[in-house]
Amino acid sequence: MSLSEVRFTAVDSRDRSDWWKRAVIYQIYPRSFQDSNGDGVGDLRGIRQRLDHLVRLGVDVIWLSPIYRSPQADNGYDISDYQDIDPAFGDLDEFDALLADVHARGMKLIMDLVVNHTSDEHPWFVESRSATAAPKRDWYIWRPPRAGFVGGEPGAEPNNWESFFSGPTWTWDERTGAYYLHLFAQKQPDLNWENPEVREAVYAMMRWWLERGVDGFRMDVINLISKHPTLPDGPVARDRAYGDGFAYYSAGPRLHEYLQEMRREVFDGRGALLTVGETPGVTMDEAPLFSDPARRELDMIFQFEHVGLDHTDGKFHPRRLQPGELAASLTAWQDALAQTGWNSLYLSNHDQPRPVTRFGDEAWWRESATALATVLHLQRGTPYVYQGEELGMTNAPFTRIDEYRDVESLNHFTEATRRGEDPDAVMSGLAAMSRDHARTPVQWDATENAGFTTGAPWIDVNPNHTTINAAAQYDDPGSVFEHYRALIDLRHRLPVVADGDFTRIDAGNPAIFAFERALREDRLLVIANLSSSPVDPVLPDELRQRWDGSATMILTNCGVDLGISATLSAWEAKVYVGHLGKPCIAR
């Protein structure tokens, strides 16, 4: 039976303020999406040229990584003008044209909001660093050297925190004889959210974008905007020069106050918008505080547990996951937000390695890419597709440091080798975990540079674009792209996908991720083998009795249906619909 023959409980989604529960969001990293002018860097006009790819895929919302004016020290996450477009990407007229094109196709567009920090070239920081008496001095976080030290000498930093991008979080500024805080690169000074003028300036900028017509924001490291007022030292791991300040710079005492204030000042009374917070390190206890609708903060957040499972001594010393670890983590988050709050579902973004390489198996490329997508998209939450994921793009085969571009990777290489780590070992860490794996250009076709640019791309195109590319996958019913399209279609058509409860099913083997979704009488059953060997599911009797004979398979990455208890081949995934009571679910 095909999906079009199955009828489900109708849920009226008009006027739903939580419309985003049935939406799928597509992240564009503009620098690597499509170049239109041959300079090797993707741009806004390039995005406009490729919008039909997104229409074909069926996504509802585009999240645009930063396109604001920026020195590009962190590829645009270092903003020097929040109300202008970087010339590398276009200008405000081109942006308006893009927004109009997106809206004309029935999609929405959300912007990346990077307000934990600015660029050091932002006029606010230029003024702040100019004099201790400057009116904007207090817009950033300035501190004197540690007592007993002379500013600029080793160990004189105000505290021992290590930056996300290696080295201390403090940079000495000779002119005014003080250190400024930067949790990320030196060129990304942290704003002082304690200062009400800073908050008002941010809110005014956000209102300006909403008035221009954007549909919401993805908020970069939003759980880091409130710091512990005394900025205490963090614990120091063995053999490390710096401490971990996470407990003191994340989830600070005023975080939720700021988010509630932002909601009132920016979003109230504006209709169908979307807000999603990026919250690294957030715990299951904290998560509902952000996305409980009654608290009036954000619609949903990105948690990081499953993308940290393979870290050992930091992200650049990864390990291969054991069967079942990924599913256990995702299940725990389903359970944590079952009653209150809402999950953002993702396997990748511009900061993470490619999921088919990391969580799947390139030897089972198509099967593992589609199995991972199946278990992700059919959970409760809002799925995010990162550009190229829908094509099963893989990690880059980089072997030399000069192939990498990312400030995090380059700083890590310098710091780790300076500390005495074996350069080959450092290169293996990058080969597994560098953010650049997500940033190689989208593989549109098999031509030179994959159809991304007619010039020299800013980062190398993956040579496997000759086989892995969009043109080869359109209309091929077995392709990764068509599988993603089918999953997105299921969310739009079946209310049980968007709104149903989630229950993990123990299928007798940790490699199997099986779960059931339920909404009133509608049921959905997902059974997937997340391993490269065949496995026999042992399903609970109660489940078999309920499903055997009545299960209708509506999607598979394998082609055959031998029933819900059949042996699963490597990375096989299948989806069944069923019901309680009536043979077919009528509205």
Q: Per CB under 6 A, does 113 bind ligand TEU?
A: no
Which residue, judged by CB position, is nearest to ligand TEU in the bound state?
77
Please give the residues from 115 up to 144 whose contact with ligand TEU meets the rule CB under 6 A: none
- Whichever of 295 and 317 has its CB closer to ligand TEU, that residue is 317
Q: Is 386 exposed, middle or buried (0-12, 13-18, 19+ CB in 10 A)?
A: buried
The answer to whether residue 258 forms part of the interface with ligand TEU (CB under 6 A) is no
Residues 193-222 that bind ligand TEU (CB under 6 A): 220-221
Report if residue 408 touches ligand TEU, rule: CB under 6 A: yes
Name which of 44 and 307 has its Cβ closer to ligand TEU. 307
Dihedral sign for Cα atoms in the order 68, 431, 409, 38 = negative
Buried b (16+ CB within 10 A) or exposed e, 110-143: bbbbbbbbbbbbbebbeebbeeeeeebbebbbbe
Q: Binding pattern to ligand TEU, positions 162-181, x when CB under 6 A?
A: --x-----------------
CB of 475 to ligand TEU, least distance (A): 34
Taking the least distance from each CB to ligand TEU, the nearer of 164 and 217 is 164
**Which CB, 114 or 512, lies closer to ligand TEU?**
114
* Cα dist from 517 to 195, 257, 506, 514, 521, whole Å: 46, 35, 14, 10, 10
Scan residues 9-68 and list those touching ligand TEU (CB under 6 A).
Answer: none
Q: Which of residues 270-299 bind ligand TEU (CB under 6 A)?
A: 278, 280
User: Least CB distance from residue 240 to ligand TEU, whole Å?
Assistant: 16
Binding test (CB under 6 A) with ligand TEU, winner from 77, 193, 242, 248: 77
Min dist CB 89 to ligand TEU, Å, is 16
DSSP of 161-196: BBPTTSSBSEEEEGGGTEEEE-SS-TT-PBB-TTSH
Active-site entry in 120, 278, 408, 572: 278
Nearest to 382 by CA among 269, 264, 298: 298
Does residue 86 touch ligand TEU according to CB under 6 A? no
Distance CA 488, CA 563 (A): 24
From the list 438, 342, 327, the residue with the least C-alpha distance to 393 is: 438
Which entry of 157, 162, 220, 299 is annotated as an active-site residue? 220
Which tokens sit at 264? 């009132």
- Please state the closest distance from residue 77 (CB atom) to ligand TEU, in A: 3
Is 460 one of the catalytic residues? no
Q: Is residue 251 part of the contact set for ligand TEU (CB under 6 A)?
A: no
Give dist(CA 351, CA 35) in Å, integer.
21
56 versus 240: smaller Cβ distance to ligand TEU: 240
Q: How many CA atoms lie within 13 A of 6 on its CB side?
A: 24
- Pick between residue 28 and residue 371 the one whose CB is nearest to ligand TEU: 28
According to CB under 6 A, which residues from 344 to 373 bind ligand TEU?
A: 350-351
Token digits of residue 323: 């069967």
How many C-beta atoms lie closer than 10 Å to residue 548's C-beta?
Answer: 12
- Is there a catalytic annotation at residue 197? no
Please report how close the Cβ of residue 353 comes to ligand TEU at its closest, in angstroms. 11
Which residues, 6 or more positions from 411, have their beta carbon under 8 angstroms from its beta carbon? 165, 166, 167, 185
Contact 440, 32 (CB under 8 A): yes
The answer to whether residue 316 forms part of the interface with ligand TEU (CB under 6 A) is no
Could you tell me which residues come within 8 angstroms of residue 447 by beta carbon, excluding any fewer than 6 positions away?
none
Query: Smallest distance from the beta carbon of 190 to ligand TEU, in angstroms?
Result: 10
Q: In whole angstroms, give the CA distance from residue 222 to residue 206.
A: 14
- Residue 136: CB minimum distance to ligand TEU, A: 21
Residues in contact with ligand TEU, counted by CB under 6 A, come to a total of 13
In the list 19, 20, 26, 184, the residue contacting ligand TEU (rule: CB under 6 A) is: 184
Q: What does the radius of gyration of the chain's CA atoms come to, in whole angstroms?
A: 24
Q: Which residues bind ligand TEU (CB under 6 A)?
A: 74, 77, 114, 164, 184, 220-221, 278, 280, 315, 350-351, 408
Residues annotated as part of the active site: 220, 278
